[in-house]
Amino acid sequence: MIVGSNSHTYRVVQGWAKWPASVQAGYTHGIVTDSEDRVYVFHTGTPSIVVFTEQGEFIRAFGHSFEGGAHGFYLHRDQNGEFLYVTDTNRGLMVKLTLEGEELLKICVPDAPGLYDAERPYVPTDVAVGPTGDIYISDGYGQNWIHRYSSEGVYIQSWGGTGSEPGQFQCPHGLSVNPRSREPELYVADRGNSRIQVFTMDGQFKRMFDNDMDQPCSFFFAGDEMYFPDLHSRYTIFDKNDTLITHLGEDQRAYKQPGWPNLPKEYYRDDRFSSPHGVCVDSRGNVYAAEWIADGRVTKLERL
């Protein structure tokens, strides 16, 4: 089975992930690879972080405390090594972990008076780290704000709010630092507004675009290219100018089906996607896709 087109074609590796019986698979929300091309999957079952080889063999699992709330998932490399940054929508927090699961930092509700109370909950959906070490957290399922912290977790600023004007959001579901520009930029997947917004690292609005997307969820940058899962049933690759290279595994019927995203198992096809939620690319250009489906559906696309 082949997906993609022209310069970007991939072979679907059927049955790639060998989930062990010791892991109760839930909704798969995030997926990342480390410097050795090991693949980490973040899902709402338990244990919530599952590690596979690039061949899909199970290595280990950890992260029981994220059961039910596992959502945003980001691997950051700096001079001290590689670390996992995760968000928990149930407990309203962001946690920094080692690759073995040791907790190094926890950030809870922002110290932002007037934004949150019992009727206005904080529900963080994603996290990114800037070049200076500052941490950015998106409140995508709560009050539609972006919050910035120092690397030690000290609150710095917030921006956003609910709306459709530039700088406002309707579900800022994912965010990531764009490494392709002269100066780093923060990309925000403004999913409810069907667009991507771009900011300086201190929150100043720069531009936005909505070409060739429907419900962008998050981002992965690989070289000059940007990969993002579109919840409405396709993965998308943009070039350095944020223009379309290709869609992967598009199925424009899937998200229109009754009961979506939990469709009958006989509906799914290995070369078509239903509810893309996370994506990453390894050192060989292979794509790993995690879908918002309750049975731990992850797919490997091998670059041809």
- Residue 168 confidence (pLDDT) above 90: yes
Average pLDDT score over residue span 77-90: 96
Residue 108 CB-density burial (10 A; 0-12 exposed, 13-18 middle, 19+ buried): middle
pLDDT, tens digit, 9 for 90 and up, residues 25-63? 999 999 999 999 999 999 999 999 999 999 999 999 999
The model's confidence at residue 79, banded by pLDDT at 50, 70 and 90, is very high
Among 48, 49, 53, 50, residue whose Cα is nearest residue 38 = 53
pLDDT in the model for residue 41:
98
Instruction: Determine the Cα–Cα distance for residues 189 and 184; give it in Å rounded to an integer.
Output: 16
Instruction: Determine the Cα–Cα distance for residues 24 and 159; give it in Å rounded to an integer.
Output: 37
CATH architecture of 2-303: 6 Propeller (2.120)
Ramachandran quadrant class, 91 (left: phi over 0; alpha: psi -120 to 50; beta: rest)? alpha
The model's confidence at residue 272, banded by pLDDT at 50, 70 and 90, is very high
Q: Is 0.95 surpassed by the pTM of this model?
A: yes
Q: Name the average pLDDT for the chain.
A: 96
pLDDT in the model for residue 295:
84
pLDDT, tens digit, 9 for 90 and up, residues 208-232? 999 999 999 999 999 999 999 999 9
Domain residue spans of the chain = 2-303
Q: What are phi and psi of 210, to 5 degrees?
A: -140, 20
The model's confidence at residue 126, banded by pLDDT at 50, 70 and 90, is very high
Average pLDDT score over residue span 146-160: 97
- Residue 140 confidence (pLDDT) above 90: yes
The pair of structure tokens assigned to 296 is 């731990």
pLDDT in the model for residue 113:
80
Q: Can you count the helices (H) and strands (E) in the chain?
A: 0, 25
- Residue 6 confidence (pLDDT) above 90: no
